Amino acid sequence: MSTREVFTDRLQAGVLLLPTMVVSLVFLYYPTVRAVGLSLYRASLARGDVFVGLENYRRLASSSEYLRSVLISVLFAACVVVGVMAVALCVSFLIHEIDVGKGVYLVAVIWPYALPPAVAGLVFLFIAHPNIGIFTSYIEAFGVDVNWFSNGPQAFVVVLIAAVWKQVGYNVIFMTAALGNVPESLTETAELDGVSRTRRLLRVYVPIISPTLVFLVIMNTIYGFFGTFAMVDLMTKGGPAGATNILIYDLYRTAFQFYEFGFASAKSVVLFVAVGLLMYGQFRLSDRYAYYGG
Amino acid sequence: MLGSLLTALTAAAERSRSAGRTTSERIRRFETEQLTLHVLAATIVFLIILPVLIAALVSTKRAGIVTSIGDLAPGGHALSNYRRALIGLEFWRFMLNSFLMSVAVVVGKLVVSLLAALVIVYYRFPYKNAVFLFILFTLLLPVPVRFVPLYRLTTELGMSNTFFAITVPYLASATTVFILRQHFLSIPASLVETAKVDGVGPLRFLWSVLVPMSRAVLVGVSVIMFVYTWNQYLWPLVIINAESLQVAQVGLSLLRGQASTGEVAWSMVMTGSMLTLLPPLALLVLFRRQLLETFTIQQK
Amino acid sequence: MGGTNGETLQGLVDQFQSETDINANLVFQDSYEGVLTNTLSALDSGEVPDVFQIDSLFAQQVLDTDAVEPVENLLSDNYPVDDFLSNVTSFFTIDDTLTSMPFNNSNAILYYNRSAFKEAGLDPDSPPTTLEEVRSYSQTLVDEGVTEAGLTWPNHVWFVEHFYSVDGQTLLDAENGHAGQPTTMQTDNSTARSLYEWWHEMADNGLFSNPGIEAWGEATSTFLTGKAAMLMTSTASVTGIRSGAEENGFEVDNAFYPTIDGDRTGPVIGGASWFVPSGLPQERQDDIGSFLEFMGRPESQITWHKGTGYYPIRQSAVEQLENDGWFAENPMYRTAFDQLTQAESTPATKRMLIGPARQVQTTIQDMSVELFSGDVSVDEGLSELKSAVEDELDRYYS
């Protein structure tokens, strides 16, 4: 790598880096720092800021609602990651094993990724609305009582399904690409040895594409915490009784419906720390389990 | 369930493999296997597409209050609905704004990130790794975490409700820099060594050598960035008030708000949704090959 | 103000422009909440629009910014403020000054499906008037297999407010915030208990269809598709519902909002008013004054009422409509208005004036779900609700 570093003009380097650095500083780092600062205030719109020290954090720590929101978010993100990757793995594997028409299936699966999250939530609401949903009466024919406006766990599941559905395409693209890189010879050897498809998938392919899987776990975690906002906003608004009140939605509501900016900043700080820790943990774990190299 | 199905399938295949070994029988069994795989894949894929298909169908209807499968027959109002959405409800303006915003961001981000990746890979200077980490670290700072102070900052700068506000904050992209860096690292070092010897400056090197060699990746990365920007909802929602500047995603929620008062049919909301879906979808379909190439980089 | 209401509004604005040569530009938002956010942030940053339309629920919040000019100062001296319906202006008058200009006001009423009633053997000319009657009508409708549920309405705090006001009970103390800072929600009374017990029973027996929180459109859809035979929603939807019923092939009618047990005080006010920021140059103020006066003209009010369903707020407009026979031909348009004029004016019928409106609104809506789903007992739920609202009020005002 060091043989590539042929240019040494530092001034040039600085200038070329400038746009990235400036934008990062001004629009990414600075607001974050301010968020931490703002979290020590009680701030609203058109009312003047009041310094309150750690009170916002104290309020968070003692709010059972908020702690519940944290648990729900973690659980939700975990389910999203597991759900998405399991489904995507199956689909990618199927596409890999199919000889003809791979492109068609791939394109078909990409749709949800192109779909704006707001539309996804809206469409699901339309389909599964407890009263006027299109499929509701058919689902109820199976004996399932569709009432996810009042039933917390059910609401959780419905939003989860919408979230997983949306993200599968993104994962399939990566996994298919990765599977496509697996040497043909490996597949042939496995087949000749009479290894069943499932075992081939789990014992051979998965370890080989583990770098991609690690990457996807991280991206899916970010998605599970942040990317699912629109779905909650459109389908359940955090309800019922906070069953789908994931942190990002709770944050949005505190900031832009209740205008409690200081409190919302405290929540962002907590969210940032939580996700940061989670991803750090994932990095460390991946070092142990992933298989890099030839 | 899928696993055991596959296992059963394979077990049956293995048994029959040992039973009949004539070539034609093997081919037939092979074809049956493929058929089953196709059926499985098609079912799953159909389930995945289904919600969007429904949205498309509803967008062709008049009132859009669909409560049973029977109502799903395509209505004949596709043309009038789409025309009303685009012209009557001014959706064309939202689409245009989204388009301008996304293109501006993509171009801007490409340029900025190319420069950054160039420096990271081909320059030597102290604390370079720290700089790289500095850029990467921003991945942990997604919009939701900073948007409260970002909102205040933008308003204080007097930039709220401007085109600037919905483009500039997106210009620094850690993912793009990262992907480009990985790609540059896969380009033989000899190329840049020759360039240095020949006295070629960094920018010319970038333009004449790196860019042509990175076509697929650049396209792939552009598509990703376009889709990402096009689908932005939260930030434009918060920072843009004027309808004339609003982007399609938020325009959609305007439509929905109107539908809530019963003034606009739900089918219009679906029409708006389909319109919003088309550009990113078209890009993904057109450039899927490049996308696949771009994503393979992640292996390293 | 989207869809046809928006079109009507735009029509009025265009008329204003052509008559006065003053330029006026409408900027639509997706909801009152959207307007509020934009207004507050505009006031925060100093980039204010000239006039903004704020829902009555958020009036106090806007007033608390201390950045608005009472509209009374912008109207010409001989403007007939007395011609406005007193129940309407009383809400928007603080300390004897008219702070915002009422424009589109409404209250909630009960819509019902006459055809469904007939089919179930109920008399379509005597709609239910109390909670108990609503319940038994619903039971009949469902038992006869005519509809899936009896009644639906969007879970918005406005309806809880109506139940309270119709029963003559203030929702908050301090006269619903009009006589000082409110500190608590009144839940320790028969109104609250009867309401939520009834709500829970209806939900439990499948007589109430829950369309979602603030789900105006979904509730209306539930009614129009015949899934529920009765709908409670704003009179502002009367035009849409009338044509929707026609499309779906049934006869629709409307009636007063049901009372808790027969005693009727009156509805709360709903809808919005025009607020004006302070500190604008005199010339601008004059223009804005003309605009406000134009919007409050009897002719404008008549156009507005006919196009939407919001009731006219000028006495002379009402008289004109009566003389023209409009109400005789369109009885559904008068229901809300009658409900208003027949009301007693008490603190209970003045809509609450609170700072943390959105927080309290969300709290009540969310807790209502728990209460009617039976996740908590009525007593427990009510006391939880009470303390949650107290927390919000305390936090805002301290």
Residue A120 CB neighbours (<10 A): 27
Q: Over chain A, what is the mean pLDDT?
A: 82
Is residue A83 very low, low, confident or very high in pLDDT (cuts 50, 70, 90)?
very high
Q: Does B160 touch chain C (CB under 8 A)?
A: yes
Judge whether residue B64 has pLDDT over 70: no
Local confidence band at B25 (pLDDT 50, 70, 90 cut-offs): low
Q: Is C38 touching A (CB cutoff 8 A)?
A: no
Structure tokens at B298: 């992640």
Of A46, A130, A132, the CB nearest to C67: A46
Q: Where are the alpha helices (DSSP H) in chain C?
A: 3-20, 32-45, 59-63, 86-92, 114-119, 131-143, 157-166, 173-176, 190-204, 216-224, 238-247, 282-296, 298-308, 315-323, 326-329, 335-341, 357-373, 378-397
Q: If you compute the radius of gyration of chain A from its CA atoms, what whole number of angstroms results?
A: 23
C2: nearest CB among B155, B158, B263: B263
State whether B193 and A165 contact (CB < 8 Å): no
How far does Cα B17 stand from its chain's mean position? 44
Please give the full DSSP string across chain A, using - where no structure is assigned.
-GGG--B--HHHHHHHHHHHHHHIIIIIIHHHHHHHHHTTEE--TTS--EE-TTHHHHHHHH-HHHHHHHHHHHHHHHHHHHHHHHHHHHHHHHHHH--S-HHHHHHHHHHHHHS-HHHHHHHHHHHH-TTT-TTHHHHHHTT----TTT-HHHHHHHHHHHHHHHHHHHHHHHHHHHHHTS-HHHHHHHHHTT--HHHIIIIIIHHHTHHHHHHHHHHHHHIIIIITHHHHHHHTTT-STTTT--HHHHHHHHHHTS--HHHHHHHHHHHHHHHHHHHHHHHHHHHHH-----
User: C108-266+354-397 maps to which CATH number?
Assistant: 3.40.190.10
CA dihedral B91, B97, B100, B102 (to 10 degrees): -90
CA dihedral B286, B291, B293, B294 (to 10 degrees): 140
pLDDT, residue C133, reads 93
- Average per-residue pLDDT in chain C? 85
Name residues whose C-beta falls within 8 Å of residue A65's C-beta, 6 or more positions apart in sequence.
Answer: A242, A245
B299 burial level (CB within 10 Å; 0-12, 13-18, 19+): middle
User: What size, in residues, is chain C?
Assistant: 398
Query: Which chains have at least 3 CB atom pairs separated by less than 8 Å from chain B?
Result: A, C
Neighbours of chain C (3+ CB pairs under 8 A): A, B
User: How many Cα atoms sit within 13 Å of A59 on the Cβ side?
Assistant: 19
Subunit contact A126:B270, Cβ cutoff 8 A: yes
The answer to whether the beta carbons of residues B172 and B111 sit under 8 Å apart is no
Is B88 within 8 Å of chain C by CB? no
Alpha-carbon distance of B248 to C215, in angstroms, equals: 22
The stretch A216-223 carries a mean pLDDT of 86
CB B94 within 8 A of CB B245: no
Q: Which of B71, B93, B241 to mutate to test the interface with C (most CBs of C within 10 A)?
A: B241
pLDDT at A248 over 90: no
Q: Which of A125, A132, A250 to mutate to test the interface with C (most CBs of C within 10 A)?
A: A132
A131·C222 Cβ contact <8 A: yes
Question: How far C190 CA lies from chain B's nearest CA (Å)?
Answer: 33
Give B127-133 contacts, CB < 8 A, sequence gap 24+.
B131/A17, B131/A21, B132/B181
Q: Please tell me the predicted confidence (pLDDT) of residue C270.
A: 72
**Measured CA angle at B156 (ends A225, B254), to 5 deg:** 55
CATH number for the segment(s) C3-105+270-346: 3.40.190.10
Q: How far is A14 from chain C (nearest CA, A)?
A: 35
Q: How far apart are CA B25 and CA A114, in angstroms?
A: 43
**Chain C residues in contact with B149 (beta carbon < 8 A):** none
Asked if residue A254 has pLDDT above 50, the reply is yes
Q: Please report, as a single letter, which amino acid is at residue B143.
A: V
Q: Which of A11-25, B107-121, B241-255, C280-294 has the weakest average pLDDT?
A: B241-255
Condensed to tens digits (0 to 9), the pLDDT of residues B267-287 reads 777 788 888 888 888 888 888
pLDDT tens per residue across span A203-215: 778 878 887 888 7
- C213 DSSP assignment: B
- Tell me the whole-structure pTM to 2 decimals: 0.81
- Count chain B–chain C contacts defined by CB atoms under 8 A: 74
Residue whose token pair is 């992907």: B179
Name the residue of chain A whose CA is nearest to C360's CA: A258
Q: Phi and psi dihedrals of C253, rounded to 5?
A: -150, 170
Question: Strand pairing partners for C101?
Answer: C274
CA distance C103 to chain B (A): 18
Looking at residue C218, its pLDDT comes to: 80
pLDDT at residue number C230: 94
Vertex B250: Cα angle to B249 and B251 (nearest 5): 90
Q: From the CA of B123, how many Å to the nearest CA of chain A?
A: 5
B12 pLDDT exceeds 70? no
The full set of domains in chain A, from first to last, is 56-289 (1.10.3720.10)
For chain C, domain boundaries: 3-105+270-346, 108-266+354-397
Average of pLDDT values for A125-154?
79
Show the low-confidence residues of chain C (pLDDT under 50): none
**What is the average per-residue pLDDT within B44-61?**
79
Residue B71 and residue C61: Cα distance in Å, rounded?
A: 45
Q: Do C370 and A241 touch (CB under 8 A)?
A: yes
Query: Does B224 have pLDDT greater than 50?
Result: yes
Q: Tell me which residue has tokens 């006459």.
A: C114
Judged against a pLDDT cut of 70, whether residue B9 lies above it is answered with: no
Integer CA distances (angstroms), B140 to A96, A261, B116, C245, in order:
33, 21, 19, 52
Structure tokens at C306: 């006919």
Copy the structure tokens of residue A49: 């800021």
Closest chain C residue to A242, measured at CA: C366
* DSSP H or E segment with residue B50: helix B23-58
Which has the higher per-residue pLDDT, A72 or A272? A72
Question: Which DSSP letter does residue C269 get?
Answer: P
Nearest to C108 by CA among C211, C256, C309, C312: C256
> Which of A257, A290, A292, A254 minimizes the C-alpha distance to A271?
A254
pLDDT at residue A292 above 60?
A: no
| Residue C394, C-beta contacts closer than 8 angstroms, at least 6 positions apart | C183
Those residues with Cβ within 8 angstroms of residue C108's Cβ, 6 or more apart along the chain or in another chain = C153, C158, C159, C162, C232, C233, C234, C235, C257, C267, C270
Of the candidates B151, B260, B264, which has its C-beta nearest C216's C-beta?
A: B260
By residue count, chain A amounts to 294
Rounded mean pLDDT, A96-118: 78
Is this prediction's ipTM beyond 0.90? no
Query: What token pair was written down for B89?
Result: 């409800």
Which pLDDT score is estimated for A293?
41
**Using one digit for the tens of pLDDT, what is the confidence trace for C157-208?**
999 999 999 999 999 988 888 888 899 999 999 999 999 999 999 999 989 9
The position carrying tokens 């596709």 is B78
Q: What is the pLDDT of residue B22?
A: 62
Looking at chain C from residue 336 to 375, which residues have their Cβ under 8 Å from any Cβ of chain A? 356, 358-359, 362, 366, 369-370, 372-373, 375
d(CA C302, CA C234): 18
- Residue B124's nearest CA partner among C124, A4, A127 is A4
**To the nearest whole angstrom, how far is the Cα of C179 from the nearest Cα of chain B?**
33
Rounded distance, CA A105 to CA A97, Å? Answer: 12
Percent of chain A with pLDDT over 70: 95
Q: Which residue of A has its CA nearest to B287?
A: A107
Search chain B and give the residue with CA nearest A181. B296
When pLDDT is cut at 50, 70 and 90, the band that residue B260 belongs to is low
Question: Which of A126, A198, A229 lies closest to B6 in CB terms?
Answer: A198
Put simply, the answer to whether A242 touches C366 (Cβ < 8 Å) is yes
* Residues in C touching A130 (Cβ below 8 Å): 210
- Find out whether C196 and C371 touch, Cβ atoms under 8 Å: yes
The fraction of chain B above a pLDDT of 90, given in percent, is 2
Residue B13 has pLDDT above 60, yes or no: no
